[in-house]
């Protein structure tokens, strides 16, 4: 998990800083937050790519955008990459806030 990634980075830094208590001698310890953020970003990018690949393999269509109900069981979606689509279904599942006109 990305949040755990940052926690582990802090844990490693803490262990290194207190290494002398365990007989490990080190020099000055510095945290490169750009590297910590880059490591987290790579983890997130990998997770996104994996999920998108799984969607493609399943045959499910993933539509990214902002939608609103325009009629019962009818969504108008403003697509992230431009344009709009109207989607109609007997059962509509959404994530996030909706305008429940259905």
Mean pLDDT by 10 residues, the chain (102 residues): 77 84 82 86 91 88 90 93 94 66 50
Phi and psi (nearest 5°) for 25? -105, 130
Q: pTM to 2 decimals?
A: 0.51
Q: Say what the pLDDT of residue 22 is.
A: 84
Q: Say what the pLDDT of residue 45 is.
A: 93
Domains in the chain: boundaries:
2-58, 63-102
Handedness of CA 44, 46, 47, 49 (dihedral sign): positive
């Amino acid at each position: 998990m990305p949040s755990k990634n940052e926690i582990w980075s802090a844990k490693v830094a803490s262990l290194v800083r207190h290494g002398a208590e365990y007989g490990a001698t080190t020099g000055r310890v510095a945290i490169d937050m750009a590297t910590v953020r880059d490591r987290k970003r790579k983890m997130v990018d990998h997770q996104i790519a994996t999920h998108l690949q799984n969607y493609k393999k399943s045959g499910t269509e993933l539509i990214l955008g902002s939608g609103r109900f325009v009629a019962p069981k009818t969504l108008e979606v403003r697509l992230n990459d431009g344009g709009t689509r109207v989607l109609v279904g007997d059962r509509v599942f959404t994530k996030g806030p909706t305008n429940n006109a259905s």
